[in-house]
Amino acid sequence: MSKQMLVMELSCPQCKATLTEGAKVHLDGKVKETDQDGEITLSAVFGDYSVETDLDIKEGMIVELRCPNCDWSIMLPITCKLCGAPMASLNIKQNGYIEFCSRRGCKGHALGGIGDIDDMMSLMNRMFETPYD
């Protein structure tokens, strides 16, 4: 199977609104360093860390992410194991949740983590409840 085909249905942990639309995840974000606020669109494709936004986010900047529906902060009190930035979290509709880094340019920014095969398999298991080994 190709991981490019794995599009995640994500929802807000607070209001349960579906945030995935097509292959995109719509969020609101605030850039701490420049105090900008606006819309941020992440790729819902597993392992793809591309971002679309009108905000001026330079590589390495941290964005505080919120649910565009209820304004709930999805930031977690834990940090990225790759770069030390705060992690954000969304629920996976099928089952479980996903954590990702809030720093632009970090590989941990990809939904599904750093895209390594172990992370992918455990995510697949959480999503589909089918043991895969």
Residue 78 binds to Zn ion (criterion: CB under 5 A):
no
CA distance 51 to 41: 6
Structure tokens at 120: 């992918």
Which residue among 63, 80, 110, 114 contacts Zn ion (CB under 5 A)?
Answer: 80
Give φ, ψ of 97 to 5 degrees: -155, 170
CA proximity to 49, closest of 99, 106, 117, 122? 106
Give φ, ψ of 113 to 5 degrees: 85, -150
Q: Write the single-letter amino acid at 45.
A: V
Closest to Zn ion by CB, 64 or 125? 64
Least distance to Zn ion, CB of residue 74, Å: 8
Residue 55 binds to Zn ion (criterion: CB under 5 A):
no
Which residue among 27, 42, 101, 111 contacts Zn ion (CB under 5 A)?
Answer: 101
Least distance to Zn ion, CB of residue 133, Å: 28
Closest to Zn ion by CB, 102 or 124? 102
Which residue among 70, 116, 128, 132 contacts Zn ion (CB under 5 A)?
Answer: 70
- Interface with Zn ion (CB under 5 A), residue total 16
Number of H helices, E strands in the chain: 1, 9
Residue 103 binds to Zn ion (criterion: CB under 5 A):
yes
CA proximity to 56, closest of 27, 39, 36, 41? 36
Q: Footprint of Zn ion on this chain (CB under 5 A)?
A: 12, 14-15, 17, 67, 69-70, 72, 80, 82-83, 85, 101, 103, 106, 108
